[in-house]
Amino acid sequence: AFGKAKLAPRVSPGKSWAGVWGGLMAVGVFALVVSWLASAGTVQTSLLIVASLATGLVSVLGDLLESMLKRHRGIKDSSQLLPGHGGIMDRIDSLTAAIPVFALIITQLGWLTTGHW
């Protein structure tokens, strides 16, 4: 079966290393497509791929952190809004970690500036 090697079985038994590598591969391909659509040069494309892969790794850590917090507190769902799906936090946990990191990276690269509408 695909994904036999578990990422963190005590924290989140459903996550596998294959899922991490597959997700990072998808992120890399998406970064390539966006770079191509934006007619980016080689340096800009490389920077976007690195920034996207770093953000992808942080999103996995954010997901694991939320799972670890739920396990530590002994709760299955972080809310009752989406019963059986782990709650709202389970839907956005990787985003809450990834968005600030991606925003910081693209700001530091000069791709995100204020006041230029």
pLDDT in tens, 50-70: 999 999 999 999 888 888 887
Record the tokens describing residue 71, joined without a space. 């396990």
Q: Which amino acid is at 91?
A: R
Q: DSSP code of 75?
A: -
Whole-number percent of the chain with pLDDT over 90: 50
- What is the C-alpha to C-alpha distance for residues 62 and 68, in angstroms, rounded to an integer? 10
89 HSE (CA, 13 A, CB side): 16
The pTM (predicted TM-score) of the whole model is 0.81
At 24 the pLDDT is 96
| Rounded distance between C-alpha atoms, residue 32 and residue 30, angstroms | 5
Phi, psi of 16 (to 5 degrees): -125, 160
